[in-house]
Amino acid sequence: MMNNASRRVRSLTPNSLPEGERDEVSLREFCSKAVPQPSLRINEIFHSLQGETSRVGLPTVFIRLTGCPLRCNYCDTSYAFQEGETLTLTEILDKVAQFHAHYVTVTGGEPLAQKNCLPLLQRLCDAGYSVSLETGGSMDISKVDPRVSRILDIKTPGSGEAEKNRWENLDLLTSQDEVKFVLCGEEDYRWAKQVLKEKRIADRCPVLLSASQGQLEPTRLAEWMLRDNLPVRLQIQLHRLLWGEGRGK
């Protein structure tokens, strides 16, 4: 017995189309109608300058996924915990293409909390974009497409989520990846310095230190870094300097 889904798929065969239209129907269009596509819950897609990492200042399309299993006390994107709309991968790529950008960052929330983030990253790379992924460090990164630059957070005690760090991820990092610490005070700084020494993270990839907004002055962090001659980079959020706290920038 044929179910409704089978009838719908069979009704979309190319021979069912008028003869004049057959050559106009692309394989992509046919497949998108016949087979349900993977989808993701998307909070926002926007074009801005990259405000963080070694790509700072580059025009970039940001794809912010909805949802996050962490609740860091300094989180500045809590609106992404629930808000969003469901889009197929093709719809997402179509929106990205409208900005004619070369760089794409997939962020959150925690993008890896949605399983279809992985095929999205692959599709973006296949389309020729230079792709980076911003992940909170609690999810497995082993299946991320190797063409993607993985920006991995290590949560400090001050974040309230240090126990969620997935330390196994460090063994997967390459020179194209980056590690980021957001520091809430001097105790976090000392903790991060010890982690850097024990794990030898700077030997694997670039390391970024960032001062939590309203908790630590970047000037103080800069002075500590100079005093200790750490092999890391100070990160100041460019987008906040340019546009403040507004969304979509």
217-238 burial by CB neighbour count: b if 16+ within 10 A, else e? Answer: ebeebeebbeeeebebbbbeee
* The pair of three-digit structure tokens given for residue 203, joined into one six-digit string: 């030997």
What pLDDT is recorded for position 229? 96
Instruction: Indicate the DSSP class of residue 40.
Output: E
In which residue are the tokens 């890391």 written?
A: 232
In which residue are the tokens 């092999």 written?
A: 231
Residue 72: closest CA among 193, 140, 163 = 163
Own/partner pairs, 219-225, CB within 8 angstroms, 24+ separation: 220/186, 221/183, 221/189, 224/186, 224/189
What pLDDT is recorded for position 7? 39
Q: Mean per-residue pLDDT for 146-159? A: 97
Does the pLDDT value for residue 99 go beyond 90?
yes
Residue 218 and residue 147: Cα distance in Å, rounded?
32
Pairing, β 59-65 against β 130-135: unpaired
Q: How far is CA 210 from the centre of its chain?
A: 17
- Residues 173, 152 contacting (CB under 8 angstroms): yes
Max distance between CA atoms of the chain, in angstroms, equals 76
Residue 135 and residue 117: Cα distance in Å, rounded?
11
In whole numbers, what is the pLDDT of the chain averaged over residues? 88
Residue 128 and residue 114: Cα distance in Å, rounded?
23
Question: At 20, is the pLDDT very low, low, confident or very high (cuts 50, 70, 90)?
Answer: low
The reported pTM is: 0.83
Q: How far is CA 219 from the centre of its chain?
A: 28
What domains lie within the chain, and their CATH numbers?
Answer: 37-243 (3.20.20.70)
